[in-house]
Amino acid sequence: MKLFDWRCLAVSSALLAVVAAQGETRPQYGGTLHVAVRAAPASLDPADGGPDSFGRRNVTRLMFETLVTTDDNGRAHALLATSWQAAPGNQRWQFSLRHGVKFHDGTALTAEAAATSLRVANPAWNVSADGDSVVIERDAADAEMLAELALPRNAIAKRTADGRPDGTGPFHVVDWQPGKKLTLAAEEGYWRGRPFLDGIEIEMGKSNRDQILALDVGKADLVEVGAEWAHRFSLEKRGLESSAPVELLALVFVRDARTPEEKLLREALALSVERGSMRSVLLQGAGQPAGGVLPNWISGYGFVFPAEADLPRARHDREQVRSAPGWTLGYDGSDPMARLLAERIALNAKDAGLALQPTSAAMTDLRVVRIPLASGDPWLALANAAAVAGLPAAKNKGSSVEDLYAAEQAALASQKIIPLFHLPVYCAAGAELKNWTVRPDGSWSLADAWLGSSKP
Amino acid sequence: MIFRRKLLAVFALTICVSVAAVAGMVLALTRRAFEKTEEHRTAALLAQFQREFNRQGEDAARRVQAIAASEPVTHMAAALEHSAGDSAAYFDLARSMADNYQLDFLEFVDARGTIISSAQWPAKFGYPEGAFESLAGASDQGAFLKQEELQDSTALGLFAVRADRVGERAMYVIGGRRLDKNFLSALDLPADMRALLYQNRGDHFSPDLLVDPAAAGNVADAAHPAEKFATLIEAVRQYDQEAAGIVQWSSDRAEDEVFHAIPLRGVGKDRPLLGILLIGHSRRSYVELKNRIGASALAVGGGGIVLAILFSSWAAARVTRPVEQLARAAQSVAAGNWNTRVVVPGDDEFAQLAESFNRMTAELLTQKERLVQAERVAAWRELARRLAHELKNPLFPLQLTVENLVRARMQSPEQFDEIFGESSRTLLAEISNLKAIIGRFSEFSKMPHPQLQPVQVNEILRGVAQLFQAQLQAPGREPIVCKLELDESLGTLAADPDLLHRALSNLVLNAMDAMPKGGTLTLRSRRDDGRTVIEVADTGSGLTPEECERIFTPYYTSKQHGTGLGLAIVQSVVSDHGGRIGVRSETGVATTFVIELQDNRDMLHTTEADGPQSNS
């Protein structure tokens, strides 16, 4: 009898444990997700021309949606548009809108509203409404139209009279303190179904160190993690997710090289940079040394651009020029990694006989710049990087890899940009956040995320 | 310069020299005292700096030792011992350890001298540590001075090195604290002293390398530009030894500071000059004291001069009053006041001198009266002799004529009438002669007062020459040549032309009498010191010195038939015109009479102004 009782008790306990375990893995509604990001946008409008960053893109995606979206392989999928059709030559595109989608103010998404939103984001485009469809006409063939429409800056927003943008995303704005804090609440009538989370509070303008501290003390559930911290997070087996290398760290000269001597000096600088030691020490093994603008996973040929330092050649180039001016090397004062990189680059340059003065001042000869690649689409990514570097936009003259390589080679030959690293986007979450991930393009996937334990 | 001023000058000079000497001596003593004080205070501050240097060095060494013995560093040393080269995981360790242990500088360096981690320059990992050999040699010793190269500057620091040995290879912990404003501010300095630090770097002085605790941030005090230290710093760099100098911040000397520059050296064989400690003393107290002494000296000197004036005035009055009385009395006596007396109270030398002076004047007065009496007697005798002589000549014929008449009356009555007539004519002639003699004497006694009017002296001289021209060339006598040497620029003077003509005529007559054998008569006129000078010169027999002295005495004459009144009349005329007459003569050669006349034009105006009134 006694033995039977003990067996019953053991079976019951096992059943309870299984049920409890199933309860932990089953999505549940409720809770407020606390997020900390480094970006501090002054506006929520997706078409606003403020500084681009992955944090901002992710915040935008919580409130706004695009006509189409891309999967991890870069293929386009329907989102607010259910279907599309491109005229021959890819100059005229027609998108059929999804029915039943409403903005957060309750008004229905119409073709006219979508067209208006796109015209604001792309003044050069000819966008019009045609019944339930949106028609986009370009002056030239635009094979990257779908990828471009998938960018957060092309998200559909209805701008109210007071300039506040309203979206169709899974969360709507409850409170907005520009550059500081954004409070979102779940949109009950979201066309894809109410998200599990009741709300999201996003603290903005937080340094990587502050974000990690907030995560450690439980004040944040989801934070961005600097590349230099990623190795430690991995060792500590904390919830770290990363994207593909979608951020380009590069040196960008403010002005064009005017003389052959100046080009030689810039080449000497590019050759003097020891990306390997920087990656292993400063980045703690994160990222990939970059010789080209596009990462290898986007272009497929990134490895052909040498990223190793060649100090003898750098010195040789330097010696070809009688006198070299001292350059000021700028960095973002709020980015400790950028400062370290700048100081290391100055040391490397000194070995080659070049004088670089790192500074956080705004007016410099060249800067350490983080360029979030716009998309997995190589042409879009290249055009985006070229725009940041102040280079002419690369024209897609063909769909071949050779054309892309030629365009990238031309950008590098301008000696205006010196690629350093391609970095992934790293994010870490507390144990309570479930079913979330970071997609290869650096975006968060929070639509189906939920909190494992109820939070106030 | 009068005696009183001389006395004042001597007194003032004596006081000024005395005050200046005392002030200079006090200043010299003060300066020496201040210099000694400065030396003592500099030595004390240097000792304090050394103590603070040692204290902070020991503190830094303890912290470095603690870091070397800490678990993270030991763990790192062990990990690197087993997997050499895999130091990437520790590149940020130095920064966190430096923060924890409050060090400004901290580096982990492997046995080959390669930087594993650097707190002060994190990006320098993988680079060799400068002067690693000397640093390794200083391992486990006390703190030392080291110049640390930073990203964009250099800094001086107190460093210590500790070796962390795990296995065969050592890892070095090099840490320290910055020698900066905080270090200097920690020194307990007197109010008028300050300490600065110069980082010795480069070939020339650079203001940016000066650490001044008083400067706000890195901005140098505008009133104390760092360039002022250039000379002192260069002196230490050049001669590699301590130097001192005065730094002048402005035109106000009280702002000056005396700085002692003391070289600070690092470790190694050549002990490089890494820094220069500047210890400054304000000269304000010294300058203010010096100014006070100077002002006091000036005040004392000024007061002394005033006192000198007063005292010298009193003393001079006391000393010089009798002398001045004597001088005035002497001048009075010289002016003819023979009755002058000097009254000096007391019985000192001045009183005796005054008494002697009074006795002298009394004696002189007595002598003068005797002389006057004698001269008067002599003059009367001369007058009597001359009168007797003059009167004797006519009286003798009168006597003979009267005796002849008596004898003729008695002896020849028939011839009496004839003799009477003849004797009467003789008597009348002689009586007339007597009247003429008496008239001349009477005329001398009644010389008229000059009637002044504008006169051209040259015209009078020409008139006299013309008047006597005929007599000078008269037949029967040796000819006399008359020469006129006249200054034509002479103006007019106030004189009586008739009297002046008469006086000059008398002189010409005398000259003619002096040249019986002919000669040259020269009439000159000239201007001398505002006066008109007239000279009548002859080339006659000249006068003896005795004759020159007595020649103007009335009734004195060297001629056989002279009355002795001619030159007396000349002197009387000249004297009535306010002038002077003199004679210079060389016996047997020449005689020159010199008349000096004032212009007297003011008297002329008075006379003219009085004229109408008298006429009315």
B361 and B322 share one domain: no
Structural domain includes residue A434 = yes
Element (H, E) at B428: helix B416-445
B78 and B14 share one domain: no
Residue B277 pLDDT class (50, 70, 90 cuts): confident
Q: What would the DSSP string read from start to end of B121-187?
A: -GGGTTSBPTTHHHHHHTBTS--EEEEEE-SSSEEEEEEEEEEEEETTEEEEEEEEEE-SHHHHHHS
Amino acid at A64: F
pLDDT score at A454:
46
A254 and A286 share one domain: yes
> How many other C-beta atoms can be found within 10 angstroms of the C-beta atom of residue B392?
9
B458 and B606 share one domain: yes
A336 and A453 share one domain: no
Q: Does B150 touch chain A (CB under 8 A)?
A: no
For residue B310, pLDDT beyond 50: yes
DSSP A98: P
Spatial distance between the Cα atoms of B116 and B172, rounded to a whole number of angstroms:
10
Q: Are A187 and A172 spatial neighbours (Cβ–Cβ below 8 Å)?
A: yes
A326 and A413 share one domain: yes
Spatial distance between the Cα atoms of B506 and A165, rounded to a whole number of angstroms:
146
Q: Closest chain A residue to B116 measured between Cα atoms?
A: A281
pLDDT score at B615:
36
A450 and A416 share one domain: no
> How many other C-beta atoms can be found within 10 angstroms of the C-beta atom of residue B295?
10
Q: Are A262 and A366 spatial neighbours (Cβ–Cβ below 8 Å)?
A: no
Spatial distance between the Cα atoms of A219 and A217, rounded to a whole number of angstroms:
6
Q: Give the gap in angstroms from C-alpha B262 to the nearest C-alpha of chain A.
A: 33
Average pLDDT over residues B364-376: 79
Q: Are B583 and B591 spatial neighbours (Cβ–Cβ below 8 Å)?
A: yes
pLDDT score at A25:
65
Q: Give the gap in angstroms from C-alpha A426 to the nearest C-alpha of chain B.
A: 19
Bridge partners, A419 (sequence order): A250
The two three-digit tokens of residue B525, written as one number: 């006129």
Spatial distance between the Cα atoms of A30 and A432, rounded to a whole number of angstroms:
12
Structural domain includes residue A382 = yes
Q: What is the CATH number of the domain that holds B595?
A: 3.30.565.10
Q: Are B593 and B581 spatial neighbours (Cβ–Cβ below 8 Å)?
A: yes
Residue B218 pLDDT class (50, 70, 90 cuts): low
Structural domain includes residue A8 = no
pLDDT score at A398:
64
A267 and A324 share one domain: yes
**Highest-scoring range by mean pLDDT, A408-417, B50-59, B419-428:** A408-417
The two three-digit tokens of residue A376, written as one number: 């997995």
Q: Does B122 touch chain A (CB under 8 A)?
A: yes
B436 and B457 share one domain: no
pLDDT score at A3:
46
Residue at which a domain ends, from B175, B209, B238 = B175
B132 and B235 share one domain: no
Q: Model confidence over B576-616: pLDDT tens digits?
A: 888 899 999 888 888 999 999 988 777 765 555 444 443 33
- DSSP, collapsed to helix, strand or coil, labels residue B306 as helix
Structural domain includes residue B57 = no
- DSSP, collapsed to helix, strand or coil, labels residue B143 as coil
B221 and B304 share one domain: no
Q: Where do runs of H (alpha helix) occur along A300-377?
A: 311-319, 336-351
Question: Total domain count for chain B?
Answer: 5
Q: Give the gap in angstroms from C-alpha B86 to the nearest C-alpha of chain A.
A: 9
Structural domain includes residue A229 = no
Could you tell me the sign of the dihedral formed by the alpha carbons of B111, B112, B113, B117, in that order? negative
- DSSP, collapsed to helix, strand or coil, labels residue B290 as helix
Q: Are B35 and B244 spatial neighbours (Cβ–Cβ below 8 Å)?
A: no
What residues of chain A lie within 8 A of the CB of B125, using their CB? 277, 281
Alpha carbon B97 to its chain's center: 79
pLDDT score at B589:
83
A297 and A398 share one domain: yes
> In a 10 Å sphere around its CB, with 0-12 CB exposed, 13-18 middle and 19+ buried, how is residue B79 labelled?
middle
Q: Model confidence over B231-244: pLDDT tens digits?
A: 899 999 888 888 88
Q: Model confidence over A416-428: pLDDT tens digits?
A: 999 999 999 999 9
| Nearest alpha-carbon partner for B392 in B384, B403, B382, B381 | B384
The two three-digit tokens of residue B242, written as one number: 């301590």
pTM above 0.90, yes or no: no
pLDDT score at A151:
92
Spatial distance between the Cα atoms of B45 and B407, rounded to a whole number of angstroms:
147
Spatial distance between the Cα atoms of A278 and A419, rounded to a whole number of angstroms:
13
The two three-digit tokens of residue B405, written as one number: 């008449």
Residue at which a domain ends, from B409, B426, B446 = B446
For residue B483, pLDDT beyond 60: yes
Domain with A213, as residue range(s), is: 29-47+54-63+169-221+430-456
Q: What percent of chain B has pLDDT over 70?
A: 94
pLDDT score at B614:
36
pLDDT score at A456:
45
Element (H, E) at B3: helix B3-69
DSSP A301: -
pLDDT score at B606:
56
A59 and A71 share one domain: no
Closest by Cβ to A347, choosing from B87, B91, B127: B127
pLDDT score at A455:
47
In whole angstroms, how far apart are CA B487 and each of A63, A91, B198, B490, B578?
133, 134, 91, 6, 21
Bridge partners, B576 (sequence order): none
Alpha carbon B185 to its chain's center: 56
Closest by Cβ to B126, choosing from A277, A357, A358: A277
A58 and A193 share one domain: yes
B131 and B20 share one domain: no
HSE, side-chain direction, 13 A CA sphere, residue A121: 25
B404 and B384 share one domain: yes
Q: What would the DSSP string read from start to end of A329-342?
A: EE--TT-HHHHHHH
Spatial distance between the Cα atoms of A142 and A174, rounded to a whole number of angstroms:
38
B368 and B481 share one domain: no
A272 and A389 share one domain: yes
Q: Model confidence over B513-568: pLDDT tens digits?
A: 888 888 999 999 998 888 899 999 999 888 888 888 878 877 677 776 666 778 88
Q: What is the CATH number of the domain that holds A387?
A: 3.10.105.10
Contact A282 B123 (CB under 8 A): yes
Structural domain includes residue B606 = yes
Contact B88 A346 (CB under 8 A): no
A404 and A435 share one domain: no
Spatial distance between the Cα atoms of B13 and A251, rounded to a whole number of angstroms:
85
Structural domain includes residue B291 = no
DSSP A275: H
pLDDT score at B21:
86
Give, for all 456 residues of chain A, the pLDDT tens digit. Answer: 444 555 555 555 555 555 444 445 678 899 999 999 999 999 999 998 788 888 899 999 999 999 999 988 888 999 999 999 999 888 899 999 999 999 999 999 999 999 999 999 999 999 999 999 999 998 888 888 999 999 999 999 998 888 889 999 999 999 999 999 999 999 999 999 999 999 999 999 999 899 999 999 999 999 999 998 898 888 888 889 999 999 999 999 999 998 999 999 999 999 999 999 999 999 999 999 999 999 999 999 999 999 999 999 999 999 999 988 999 999 999 899 999 999 999 999 999 999 999 999 989 999 999 999 888 888 889 988 998 888 887 665 666 888 899 999 999 999 999 999 999 999 999 989 998 989 888 888 887 899 986 444
- Within 108-167 of A, beta carbons closer than 8 Å to B belong to none
Domain with B440, as residue range(s), is: 338-446
Q: Which of B92, B116, B150 to mutate to test the interface with A (most CBs of A within 10 A)?
A: B92
What residues of chain B lie within 8 A of the CB of A357, using their CB? 152
Bridge partners, B117 (sequence order): B108
In whole angstroms, how far apart are CA B419 and each of B161, B190, B398, B400?
170, 143, 14, 12
Task: Determine phi and psi for B151, rounding to 5 degrees.
Answer: -55, -50
Amino acid at B90: Y
- DSSP, collapsed to helix, strand or coil, labels residue B297 as helix
pLDDT score at A319:
94
DSSP A390: T
A102 and A42 share one domain: no
Q: What is the CATH number of the domain that holds A35?
A: 3.40.190.10
Output the furthest CA–CA distance in chain B (Å, rounded): 201
A289 and A355 share one domain: yes
Contact A340 B123 (CB under 8 A): yes
What residues of chain B lie within 8 A of the CB of A284, using their CB? 88-89
Radius of gyration of chain A (CA): 25
What residues of chain A lie within 8 A of the CB of B122, using their CB? 340, 343
B502 and B596 share one domain: yes
Task: Determine phi and psi for A91, rounding to 5 degrees.
Answer: -95, -30
Spatial distance between the Cα atoms of A50 and A153, rounded to a whole number of angstroms:
10
Q: Are A166 and A157 spatial neighbours (Cβ–Cβ below 8 Å)?
A: yes
B493 and B460 share one domain: yes
B563 and B609 share one domain: yes
Average pLDDT over residues B297-311: 80
Q: Are B272 and B265 spatial neighbours (Cβ–Cβ below 8 Å)?
A: yes
Q: What is the CATH number of the domain that holds B171?
A: 3.30.450.20
Number of residue pairs across A and B with CB atoms under 8 Å?
30
Contact A285 B123 (CB under 8 A): no
> How many other C-beta atoms can be found within 10 angstroms of the C-beta atom of residue B322?
21
